[in-house]
Structure 1
Amino acid sequence: MTEIPGLDGVLGVEHVELTADRVVVRFTIGAQHLQPFGIPHGGTYCTVHESTASLAGQIWLGTQGIVVGTNNSTDFIRQAKVGDTITTTATPIHRGRTQQLWHLESVGPDGKLVAQGQVRLANLDQPVPPEMVAQFEGR
C-alpha cells in the first residue's frame, strides 16, 4: 500500500511524473494483484490505466471541471510475475471541451509491453472538490 488515497493506494501505485501532457506511475506485482490461478489479474492493469488517465486528464483540465471515465479498453500483451515493477505511462490522444482520450502503456522491468489501452474521459462542468485541489497543489 502507498499513501495515495483509494484503490491506487491499495494496489501500491506510486506517482513518478505528473504533468498535463504525461503521467507516469509504477507498482510492483504482489499477492494483491493476482487472480486465483496465481498470475497477475488483468483488472489490475485496467484499474491502473483508468486511474492514471483520470489523473492525467484532471491535471490537464485543472479547476475547469472534473473528469470521469466513460470507456476503458485494455489489451493484455504478456504476463508479468510477482516482484516485477510495472511502469504505466498516460499520453493524450485527444483533449477537447467535453471529452478526452488517453493512450496507456504498461511495461515490465525489461521495458517490454505488458498491457496497453485507451481510456475515454468526460469533462463534467462541476466544481472540483477542495480536497482534490489541495492534494495536487504544488506538483
Structure 2
Amino acid sequence: MSDLPGLDGVLGVEHVELTADKVVVRFTITERHLQPFGIPHGGIYCAVHESTASVAAQIWLGEKGVVVGTNNSTDFIRQAKLGDTITVTATPIHRGRTQQLWHLDSVGSDGRLVAQGQVRLANLDQPVPPEALAAFTGTTTG
C-alpha cells in the first residue's frame, strides 16, 4: 500500500517524477499482485498504465478541463517476479484540444521491458476538482 488514494494506493504505486512531458511511477510486485497461478496479474499493468497516463495528461491539461480514459491497450512482454520493482514511464504521443495519446513502458528491476502500452484520453470541458489538481500540481483552481 502507498499513501496515494484509490487503486494506485492499493497497488503500492509511488510517484517518482511528475511533469507535463513525462510521469514516472514505480511499484514492487507482492503477493497481492499475483493471479491464482502465482504470476503477476496483467491487469496491474493495465491499471497502472491508465492511472499514470491520466496523471500525465491532467498535469499537461491543467485547469482547462478533466481527462478521462477512452482506450487502454497493453501488451505483456515478459513475466516479472515476486519482489521485482516495476518502473512505469508515460510519455506523450499526441496532445490535442479534445484528446491525448500517451505511450507507457513498464520495465523490471533488471531494466528489461515487461509491458508496453498506449492510453487514449478525452479532454472534457468541465471544472477540475480543486483537490485533484492540488494533489498533482500543488495548485488549486480559483
Question: Which range, TM-score by smaller chain?
Answer: over 0.9
Partner of 1:82: 82
In the alignment, the residues of structure 1 paired with residue 26 and residue 137 of structure 2 have an alpha-carbon distance, to the nearest angstrom, of 21
Work out the CA distance in 1 between the residues paired with 2:105 and 2:136.
Answer: 23
Determine the structure 1 residue equivalent to 2:93: 93
Cα shift at 1:16: 0.1
> Hey, what's the Cα distance between the residues in 2 that align with 1:111 and 1:130?
37
After superposition, the CA RMSD in angstroms is 0.9
Q: Deviations over 1:86-120 (max 9, x none)?
A: 00000000000000000000000111000001000
The equivalent of 2:69 in structure 1 is 69
Report the Cα offset of residue 82 of structure 1: 0.5
Note the C-alpha offset of 1:77.
0.1
Q: Which amino acid aligns with 2:33?
A: H
| Structure 2 contact 58–66 (Cα < 8 Å) conserved | yes
Whether the 8 Å CA contact 2:24–2:88 is kept in 1: the answer is yes
Unaligned 5+ segments in structure 1 are none
Is there any run of 5+ residues in structure 2 with no aligned partner, and where? none
Runs (4+) off by over 4 Å: none
Alignment partners' CA distance in 1, 2:52 and 2:136: 14
Query: Is residue 104–residue 117 contact of structure 2 (8 Å, CA) maintained in 1?
Result: yes
Aligned residues: 139
The alignment partner of 2:10 has SS state of helix
